Amino acid sequence: MSDLYKAAILLTSLPEEEAASIMGRLDPKQVEQVSIEIARMKSVSVEEQEHTIMQFAESNPTAVGADSMGLDRAKSLVQLALGKDASDTLDNIRQSIEEVPFAFLRQIDSQNILTYVIDEHPQTIALILSHLPAAAGAEIMAGLPPDHQLLVVQRIANMGQTNPEIIEEVERGLERRMSSVMSQSFENAGGVGAVAEMLNVSDRATERTLLENLSQEDPELVEEIRRLMFVFEDIGKFNDKDMQTVLKGVENSQWATALKGASIDLKEKVFGNMSQRAVEMLKEEMEYMGAVKLSLVESKQQEIVDIVRGLEDSGAIELNAGEEEELVQ
């Protein structure tokens, strides 16, 4: 999740007046950006909300209702935050929402979209999926033939700016076939991050098969995708057994630096799986280090992520195992 998306989740989780008070401390451009994100949101899972709120403050982890999101919610917050100066920002938000490419597809079931795009050229499918939310893109991807999945992922990963005329042409065709009308314009889309987001919410079988096939043609791309799929904070989701396995493979000096930029929850997860003496030594080392450059913190965090990925490859741990167990129950 991007910081902007997290901010949008947090603001929609708060009472309207409190959210508006926070937005009132932002500059108009920041208000506009986060408001556009709120306006684009349709729903947020309990897991996403809990994960986001726990990074900022203690709160009641209940699901966010659709009435707390969307354009109306964004407009209301902007008006409360900016008062008489809200007019220009509201116009920009409305214009941005109206210009989101393939926005009409967000109201259509993923399986229905799959029916219309499954016979399209991989480049066309890639263009469409790169403009959809990751969850919708993952569902459509899972329904494609394996050979098409590989071709589509490669094209999404290598996609940059797309000619607006091509986007409009593809849109017009879908609009006619799906009886939807929405004018769109130029936008950046795709990239390795888009692939990682889709695979993060794909079922494990689809993820493994696709990455295994892709690694035969482009192992460097697979490594880049995998780095984005699992981030340092995800270690906090491990059960105690896997956490202890990770601890055995990581040196205290690595933890001392990496935890400088970690959430309280992740720190507690790490400390909770160490002996009291080990925790004391680690905390002493962190204090002794003092301030550390962000680049060094991120470098050490990535080292630990690489170690975790290595443990997964060897079968010592299984990423997302806890989430899969919840789905089975």
Model confidence at 63, pLDDT cuts 50, 70, 90, reads very low
Question: What tokens appear for 131 in the block?
Answer: 């403009």
The CA distances from residue 84 to 16, 37, 90, 101, 146, in Å, are 18, 22, 11, 31, 54
Whether residue 115 sits in one domain with residue 69 = no
Q: For 251-278, how does the pLDDT look when each residue is reduced to its tens digit (9 = 90+)?
A: 999 999 999 878 888 999 999 999 999 9
**pLDDT score, position 192:** 78
- Please list, residue by residue across 32-44, b when 16 or more beta carbons sit within 10 angstroms of its beta carbon and e when fewer do: bbbbbbbbbbeeb
Letter for the amino acid at 142?
A
Query: 258 and 324: one domain?
Result: yes
Do 37 and 14 share a structural domain?
Answer: yes
For the record, the structure tokens of 146 come out as: 């394996």
Handedness of CA 293, 295, 299, 301 (dihedral sign): positive
99: phi then psi, degrees, rounded to nearest 5: -100, 5
* 142 and 35 assigned to the same domain: no
Q: Examine the domain organization and report whether 219 and 238 are in the same domain.
A: no
Among candidate residues 179, 200, 227, the one where a domain is terminated: 227
Looking at the structure, tell me whether residues 93 and 37 fall in a common domain.
Answer: yes
Q: Which of 95, 79, 4 is nearest to 41 (CA)?
A: 4
The residue type of 167 is I
| Least confidently predicted of 6-20, 59-73, 218-232 | 59-73
pLDDT (0 to 100) of residue 66: 39
Closest Cα partner for 301 from 267, 264, 254?
A: 254
Mean of all residue pLDDT scores within the chain: 76
Q: Indicate whether 223 and 237 sit together in one domain.
A: no
Q: Are 151 and 158 in contact (CB under 8 A)?
A: no
Instruction: Identify which of 59-68, 106-115, 123-132 has the greatest average pLDDT.
Output: 123-132
Structural domain of 80 = 3-98
Q: Does residue 246 sit in the same domain as residue 215?
A: no
Q: Do both 252 and 272 map to the same domain?
A: yes
- Residue listed under structure tokens 């042409």: 169
Q: How far separated are the first and last CA of the chain, in Å rounded?
A: 27
Q: What is the CATH number of the domain that holds 146?
A: 1.10.220.30
Domain boundary residue, one of 186, 205, 227: 227
pTM: 0.40
Model pLDDT for residues 118-127, shown as the tens digit of each residue: 888 999 999 9
Q: Looking at the structure, tell me whether residues 7 and 70 fall in a common domain.
A: yes
Given 164, 193, 227, the domain boundary residue is: 227
Whether 196 and 299 map to the same domain: the answer is no
Lowest average pLDDT, out of 84-88, 224-228, 259-263, 274-278, goes to: 84-88
Question: What six digits make up the tokens of 78?
Answer: 């902007």
Number of domains present in the structure of the chain: 3
Question: Vertex 115, ends 112 and 120: CA angle to 5°?
Answer: 130
- 73 and 86 together in one domain: yes
Helix, strand, or coil (residue 188) = strand
CB 23 within 8 A of CB 31: yes
